[in-house]
Amino acid sequence: MSEDDDRSPPSDAAATGITASGSGGSTSVELFPAPYPDQVLENVLENVLCFLTSRRDRSAASLVCKSWYRAEALTRSELFIGNCYAVSPRRTTARFTRVRSVSIKGKPRFADFNLMPHNWGAHFAPWVVAMAKAYPWLEKIYLKRMSVTDEDLVLIAESFPNFKELVLVCCDGFGTTGLAVVANKCRQLRVLDLIESEVMDEDVDWIACFPGSHTCLESLIFDCVDCLVNFEALERLVVRSPSLKKLRLNRYVSIGQLYRLMIRAPQLTHLGTGSFSTSDGMIQGEQEADYASAFAACKSLTCLSGFRETLPELLPAIYPVCANLTSLNFSYANINAEQLKPVICHCHKLQTFWALDSICDEGLQAVAATCKELRELRVFPVDAREDIEGPVSEVGLQAISEGCRKLQSILYFCQRMTNAVVIAMSKNCPDLVVFRLCIMGRHRPDHLTGQPMDEGFGAIVMNCKKLTRLAVSGLLTDRAFSYIGQYGKLVRTLSVAFAGDSDNGLKYMLEGCPKLQKLEIRDSPFGDVALHSGLHHYYNMRFLWMSSCKLTHQGCREVARALPRLVVEVMTRNEVDEEDIVDDEIEILYMYRSLEGPRDDVPKIVQIL
């Protein structure tokens, strides 16, 4: 965790023991009882540990001995919980007493694809209750895939007088009522970011609840809030927030309203445009020059997103800022290659680019020709059906691999691919840390040779020495997984879908990837034998998720008996009677390590073995 030297609560560390003062040529020294040598060493160690910023380095330091364990806990101001059920709030607050920033993750990633029951759990309530008592000085909360209620938000607003940052990513259960209380009572709020969360419309004007005087707001993101906002109140809020740097609007904010906000906040560095089309009755020709001048006035703008309901004729308005952009997100803009080219040709500094596959291979070729500094690329499908001819293919990926040699992360959805192009990418982009290739359609081979995609993915793990995250798809045999086990020594997150021949595939990964932390598998032929091959490693992993594989209750029970500190959950997406469950009906398995044992908020659809 990153640490800030000035952000720990009042220290209760012991005095140094000696105070000296001088006057003229004389010196007086007052001696206090000398501390024990161990106490001196712990005080020194605490001062040193304040400079240790890496989470993994801190965790390693805490394992050295008991004194290091105590000192590391006392100097930790930022806390990261990768699984909300891995440790209890009580244990956490007892060990870490000076925390100012908390990050907690709840449901696994497959919950984003409706593969997990909606009411599975990951409730924030017990955490916020414990933190309200233990950390009255708390300033930051970051939550991902957690269930958050309006009552939780009220408790945040009422318990932490110096609260500054709230970030909710892929969360649900709360609405505009809770947001209104946070806006009204958190007078030092700097960041309120709602990202891909489900926010209920409770007919509360939460934007109007921010303080009437100048605010401390630096970031306001609400593009996921699917309801009308009080624009007049939003405009006044922007005017009262001179430190505002990041603003992402929802689709109910029109481009005309965006123009009004931009001329009042030229200091913005990150902007999400909301809707990018003209309102009824607006004279388009008269407004275009104004839009362009508003963008031109934002001299510091480096990150641009939004573009919902995009009217392509308005895209020239962003030309003035393109040369300065480092991030451009067109993942909601259904534009084609011809509409993209005039924009992307100015984006020479671009490092992050997200887009829909509507830009086709031709659009990716334009990106490759211009964006030589590109580090991250994501291409999402407009239509995710398996039986269509997709607009992007190996042609676009090859262009990117040849033109963007500094690429570090890629997520690429397509309908067809070849081994040759994936191999070429592994050689052209050796700095890849994240490689996620999603070939839509089950068991699709190299579309030119008809061969499995084994050699392509094998080349990625062989040639990309820094790879930590990998997602595989297409027709894959156990040979591909043997490559992953042999060469994927740094892989920490691995996603597998519709792949593999036998239990050997999973066995290769579990026995060969020592750093593996998160393993997600769906619709693959792995059974009990494969599951048992990882008994030596499960305590070192954050979680294992398997759905629609060939697991049995008996096989899962054997894992639970062998590893008592591992929580083994089996579940169905819909409620069934317990007596109806038979050995061959494991629909979903979710296993994770926990210091607390089974949780106490298990719904009926979940059975803990």
pLDDT digits (tens, 9 = 90+) for 409-448: 999 999 999 999 999 999 999 999 999 999 998 899 999 9
Higher pLDDT pick, 584 / 410:
410
Q: Residue written as tokens 């690329």?
A: 377
Greatest Cα pair distance, the chain, in angstroms, is 91
Q: What six digits make up the tokens of 211?
A: 């303080």
Q: Tell me if 557 is assigned to some domain.
A: no
Residues 6+ apart with CB under 8 A from 265: 238, 241, 244, 247
Q: Tell me if 49 is assigned to some domain.
A: yes
Angular region, 114: left φ>0, alpha ψ -120 to 50, beta rest: left
Cα–Cα distance between 501 and 477 in angstroms, integer? 5
Q: Tell me if 62 is assigned to some domain.
A: yes
**pTM of this structure:** 0.89
Note the pLDDT tens digit of each residue in 116-131.
888 899 999 999 999 9
Q: Tell me if 429 is assigned to some domain.
A: no
Range with the poorest average pLDDT among 16-20, 228-232, 583-587: 16-20
CA-angle at 457, arms to 452 and 462, nearest 5°: 135
Full domain range(s) for residue 70: 39-76
Note the pLDDT tens digit of each residue in 205-258.
999 999 988 899 999 999 999 999 999 999 999 999 999 999 999 999 999 999
Contact call for residues 108 and 590 (beta carbons, < 8 A): yes
CATH of residue 56's domain is 1.20.1280.50
Dihedrals phi, psi of 449, to nearest 5 degrees? -100, -20
Q: Tell me if 370 is assigned to some domain.
A: no
How crowded is the C-beta side of 28, counted as CA atoms within 13 Å? Answer: 4
Q: Tell me if 558 is assigned to some domain.
A: no
Domain count across the chain: 1
Q: What six digits make up the tokens of 482?
A: 């043997």
Dihedrals phi, psi of 497, to nearest 5 degrees? -140, 130
Closest CA to 399 of 380, 384, 412, 385: 412
Q: Tell me if 266 is assigned to some domain.
A: no
How crowded is the C-beta side of 330, counted as CA atoms within 13 Å? Answer: 28
C-alpha distances out from residue 240 to 211, 263, 449, Å: 9, 14, 62
What pLDDT is stored for residue 113 in this prediction? 85
Band (140; pLDDT cuts 50, 70, 90)? very high
Range with the poorest average pLDDT among 4-13, 474-483, 551-560: 4-13
Query: What amino acid is encoded at 345 in this protein?
Result: C
For 561, other C-beta atoms within 10 Å of its C-beta total: 10
Q: Tell me if 64 is assigned to some domain.
A: yes
Dihedrals phi, psi of 396, to nearest 5 degrees? -65, -40
